[in-house]
Amino acid sequence: MSVLVNAAARNVFSRLLPSVRHITTLETTSGGWFYANYALGACLGTDPCPDLRDEYSLPPNFDYRVWFPMHMSVQMKKMEGKLRSVDLIVEVHDARIPVSGRNSTFLKQFCSIRPHVLVMNKMDLINMKKYRQPIEDYYRHEHGITNIIWTDCKRRHGRALSNVQKAVLDILTHEPRFNRTVKTEFQIMVVGIPNVGKSSLINTWRSHNMGTKKSAVVEGARPGVTVRVQNRVRVLDKPPMYVLDTPGVLSPSTRNVHEVMKLALCDLILESATNPRYVADYLLYWLNRTGDYSYIKHLEIPGEPTDDIDKLLIRICSTKVSDEYLLNYFWNRSSLRFNSVGVALRQINGLESFYP
């Protein structure tokens, strides 16, 4: 039965996530700069689910704080050792969760020593007209961060890259360089949590300026592709500018369950470190809390909305799982295990952020 449940949970991702592209909730903060906004896309007009949970919780025996591989702590120390040879820190983050997941260590240990630019990548997955200004206002007033650049590295938008380069050059030419004053070249360190597009930014930046399509650093659509501090990559000739690619590092400090589930939904944590059923359960909880019961229509299952993931998965199994489906599942299980959630998420075109 567990095989069927996991298969059905993956079915929730592949069938349901692309359908919630018009449902947007900005993360709320105690500072009040963010607000919840529910843009309900295709509601069925069904009465609210009668037994909504007040809070989302995981089983007591499931520890969601475990994914902090050894290479993260080791490479973090190596990154710290490179700071004296760096002129600027570029922090890349996922625009869909503009607050959750940001590693506080970057701000405390790196950005307080060197100038800092915050790059919000995957801007094509959010409604920029609605949420760009609130996000920038939040960081300006709550953290004093004014250098915020929006990009979409996968689509190689020239204008966005030009904005990044312009902001970087402006800071490099006006900020004091201290021990690097005599250097004729600039060196930048790109940091961030896993799978937010650090390597994509470097390759796109290099391709844009150097006229080459060959990737200088390895990139992938899953977290943990870069596991060590890379050799520097030249991205500009005049002035000479080099970039250091670094592995994605999650904060080892305790995080709440909502933050971890948001990271999992955005494919920023390895699927093997979470559990498809729990992530699907969080998605169901989030949809019900925002008043969108359109998943009944999109999953093509009978019955009324429910807040019980087990009941939902059993209904999916009873209506969707056939002998042919099970055969395909077992035949392709390796591919499903590594790619199903990532492929579904890359097709969203708008899973912008999540209920806090």
Most confident of 129-138, 194-203, 210-219, 279-288: 129-138
Residue from 318, 278, 282, 280 nearest 300 by CA: 318
Higher pLDDT, 145 or 214: 145
Confidence of residue 296 (pLDDT cuts 50, 70, 90): confident
pLDDT of the residue at 17: 52
Q: Return the C-alpha torsion angle 343, 345, 346, 349, nearest 10.
A: 150
Tokens of 178: 């201290």
Q: Distance (Å, rounded) from C-alpha 347 to C-alpha 345? A: 5
Confidence of residue 261 (pLDDT cuts 50, 70, 90): confident
pLDDT of the residue at 118: 92
Tokens of 182: 């005599």
pLDDT of the residue at 295: 81
Report pLDDT digits (tens) over 115-141: 889 999 888 888 888 888 999 998 888
- 249, 103 in Cβ contact below 8 A? yes
Q: What DSSP state is assigned to residue 216? A: S
Report pLDDT digits (tens) over 9-31: 555 555 555 444 433 343 543 33
Count of residues making up the chain: 356
Q: Residues 186-201: what's their mean pLDDT?
A: 86
Higher pLDDT, 321 or 251: 251
pLDDT of the residue at 120: 92
Query: Per-residue pLDDT for 249 more than 60?
Result: yes
Tokens of 216: 């200088």
Of 40-49, 132-141, 205-214, least confident by mean pLDDT is: 40-49
Domain residue ranges in the chain: 2-63+256-346, 70-245
pLDDT of the residue at 205: 81
Q: Residues 45-72: what's their mean pLDDT?
A: 68
Tokens of 326: 């099970």
Q: Distance (Å, rounded) from C-alpha 17 to C-alpha 299? A: 10
- 147, 166 in Cβ contact below 8 A? no
Higher pLDDT, 36 or 223: 223
User: Residue 314's CB: how many other CB atoms inside 10 A?
Assistant: 16
Dihedral pair phi/psi, residue 92, rounded to 5°: -105, 135
Of 120-124, 132-136, 247-251, 321-325, least confident by mean pLDDT is: 321-325
Q: Residues 159-180: what's their mean pLDDT?
A: 80
Tell me the average pLDDT of the chain: 70
Tokens of 288: 């019900």
- Long-range contacts of the stretch 139-146 (C-beta < 8 A, 24+): 141/31, 141/33, 142/29, 142/31, 142/33, 143/107, 145/116, 145/118
Cα dist. 142→24, 129, 132 in Å?
Answer: 22, 21, 15
Instruction: With residue 91 as reference, give the H or E element that holds it.
Output: strand 88-94
pLDDT of the residue at 340: 38
pLDDT of the residue at 14: 52
Domain 70-245: give its CATH code. Answer: 3.40.50.300
Higher pLDDT, 61 or 154: 61
Q: Residues 205-231: what's their mean pLDDT?
A: 59
Higher pLDDT, 244 or 44: 244
Residue from 17, 20, 149 nearest 93 by CA: 149
pLDDT of the residue at 119: 92
Q: What DSSP state is assigned to residue 83? A: G
Query: Per-residue pLDDT for 72 more than 80?
Result: no
Residues 6+ apart with CB under 8 A from 331: none
Confidence of residue 7 (pLDDT cuts 50, 70, 90): low
Query: Per-residue pLDDT for 43 more than 50?
Result: no
Q: Distance (Å, rounded) from C-alpha 33 to C-alpha 134? A: 6
pLDDT of the residue at 22: 35
